């Protein structure tokens, strides 16, 4: 039997914990509410949808948010200026620059310009490097969401073989670091596969845990997994079906249902976990202020 790993339910439990912490450590002590800044550039439909959900989640938790929405023709210099303003604004505890950025913008230059103390995405090399070395830092929200959904469902990853599909800085790379680190939860044996890996199913068939973040709708099918494997689907793809636009993941849900032991649904799996982990990082940034 396949069990659903319900990200909506767990995210709402964690939301209550965050609200309680804000009440006890901030409101009762008459401190200023946590404040998240978001810089969004352009009109990418998915990015706008993600950002709107992040803002909504902030409202639900009592975290303040400020959105700076820049046009797609904004220059790199103007974007760097906005980041400088966020870095220097004492009322902003942490902020993110929504990715991907427009082609004329140097993404690395942008991420490097974010103050690591306010980098609640955990993408700055200082935070990413600290994470890789097992030091305290902000961990990228999706990776943290994956670790948390496994941990809170009492799924032990130690000694298990995790196969990751995709090596992005947002998902694949940080998940590989956190799952293989030498503390609990961690100690998983990790294989990263990507677009240049021949015969991906050779690896997925051996996996105890599969993390898929490829952006290819329905990529993982029943014949690619072993009986009882745990499947974490990070894909959020919009497709047209019967004239309706629907969201589907990178896993062919109906194909693997029954063969996997656990699976995250899309929507309602890793998405809400990612959003809540961003709020958790923002709260941590506010408490460090
Ligand atoms: N685009 C997709 N996911 C993310 C994320 O977690 N953070 C940022 N900044 N951009 C993203």
**What structural domains and CATH numbers belong to the chain?**
30-115 (3.40.50.10860), 141-271 (3.40.50.720)
Centre of ligand 1 to C-alpha 234, Å, is 12
Given this model, what pLDDT does residue 43 score? 96
pLDDT tens-digit readout, 235-257: 999 999 999 999 999 999 999 99
Given this model, what pLDDT does residue 173 score? 98
CA-closest residue to ligand 1 atom 2: 99
β-bridge pairing 64-70 and 94-97: unpaired
3-state DSSP call for residue 262?
A: strand
Nearest CA-CA partner of 181 in 158, 203, 204: 158
Given this model, what pLDDT does residue 118 score? 98
Nearest CA-CA partner of 18 in 266, 275, 207, 289: 275
Residue whose CB lies within 8 A of the most ligand 1 atoms, among 49, 99, 118, for a mutation test: 99
Given this model, what pLDDT does residue 265 score? 98
Q: Dihedrals φ, ψ of 54, to 5°?
A: -65, -40
User: Is the pLDDT score of 125 beyond 90?
Assistant: yes
Q: What is the pTM of this model?
A: 0.97
Mean pLDDT of 15-30: 98
Residue 131 pLDDT class (50, 70, 90 cuts)? very high
What region does 237 belong to: left with phi over 0, alpha with psi -120 to 50, or beta? beta
User: Is the pLDDT score of 262 beyond 90?
Assistant: yes
β-bridge pairing 35-41 and 3-4: unpaired
Atom of ligand 1 nearest to the CA of 99: 10
Mean pLDDT of 134-159: 98
Q: Which tokens in the block code for residue 234? A: 């990070």
Centre of ligand 1 to C-alpha 41, Å, is 12
CA distance 48 to 272: 16
CA distance 125 to 105: 18
Centre of ligand 1 to C-alpha 6, Å, is 21
Question: Is the peptide bond between 7 and the residue preceding it cis, with omega within 30 degrees of 0?
Answer: no
Mean pLDDT of 136-158: 98
Residue whose CB lies within 8 A of the most ligand 1 atoms, among 98, 119, 214, for a mutation test: 98
Average pLDDT over the chain, rounded to an integer? 97
Residue whose CB lies within 8 A of the most ligand 1 atoms, among 121, 146, 215, 235, for a mutation test: 121
Centre of ligand 1 to C-alpha 201, Å, is 28
CA-closest residue to ligand 1 atom 8: 98
Atom of ligand 1 nearest to the CA of 140: 6
Nearest CA-CA partner of 193 in 215, 174, 211: 211
Identify whether the C-beta of residue 248 lies closer than 8 Å to the C-beta of residue 278. Answer: no
Given this model, what pLDDT does residue 59 score? 97
Residue position matching structure tokens 């709107």: 52
Q: Other CB atoms closer than 10 Å to residue 110's CB: what's the count?
A: 19
Given this model, what pLDDT does residue 189 score? 98
pLDDT tens-digit readout, 200-214: 999 999 999 999 999
Q: Other CB atoms closer than 10 Å to residue 270's CB: what's the count?
A: 28
Centre of ligand 1 to C-alpha 30, Å, is 32
Centre of ligand 1 to C-alpha 96, Å, is 8
CA distance 26 to 86: 22
User: Is the pLDDT score of 96 beyond 90?
Assistant: yes
Given this model, what pLDDT does residue 90 score? 98
Given this model, what pLDDT does residue 289 score? 87
Mean pLDDT of 152-174: 98
Count Cα neighbours of 143 within 13 Å in the Cβ-side half-sphere. 29
Identify whether the C-beta of residue 279 lies closer than 8 Å to the C-beta of residue 120. Answer: no
CA distance 7 to 263: 10
Residues carrying an active site annotation: 54, 98, 121
Q: Which tokens in the block code for residue 23? A: 């009440």
Instruction: List ligand 1's pocket residues with C-beta within 6 A.
Output: 96-99, 121, 141-142, 170, 274
User: Is the pLDDT score of 153 beyond 90?
Assistant: yes
Atom of ligand 1 nearest to the CA of 100: 1
CA distance 289 to 286: 5
Mean pLDDT of 133-139: 97
């Amino acid at each position: 039997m396949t069990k659903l790993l319900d990200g909506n339910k767990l995210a709402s439990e964690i939301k209550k914990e965050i609200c309680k912490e804000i009440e006890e450590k901030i409101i009762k002590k008459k401190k200023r509410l946590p404040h998240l800044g978001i810089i969004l550039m352009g009109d990418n439909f998915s990015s706008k949808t993600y950002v709107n959900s992040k803002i909504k989640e902030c409202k639900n938790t009592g975290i303040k948010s400020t959105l700076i929405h820049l046009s797609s023709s904004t220059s790199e210099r103007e974007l760097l200026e906005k980041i400088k303003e966020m870095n220097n604004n004492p009322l902003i505890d942490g902020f993110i620059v929504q990715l991907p950025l427009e082609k004329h913008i140097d993404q690395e230059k942008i991420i490097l310009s974010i103050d690591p103390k306010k980098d609640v995405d955990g993408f700055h090399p200082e935070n990413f490097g600290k994470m890789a070395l097992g030091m305290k830092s902000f961990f990228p929200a999706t990776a943290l969401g994956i670790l948390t959904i496994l941990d809170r469902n009492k799924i032990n990853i130690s000694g298990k073989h995790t196969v990751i599909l995709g090596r992005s800085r947002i998902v694949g790379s940080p998940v590989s670091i956190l799952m293989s680190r030498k503390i609990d939860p961690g100690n998983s044996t990790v294989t990263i596969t990507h677009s240049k890996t021949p015969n991906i199913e050779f690896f997925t068939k051996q996996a105890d845990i599969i993390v898929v973040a490829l952006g290819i709708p329905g990529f993982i099918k029943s014949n690619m997994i072993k009986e009882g494997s745990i499947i974490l689907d990070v894909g959020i793809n919009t497709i047209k079906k019967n004239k309706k636009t629907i969201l589907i993941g990178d896993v062919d849900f109906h194909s693997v249902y029954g063969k996997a032991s656990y699976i995250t649904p899309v929507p309602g799996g890793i998405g809400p976990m990612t959003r809540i982990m961003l709020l958790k990082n923002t709260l941590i940034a506010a408490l460090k202020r």
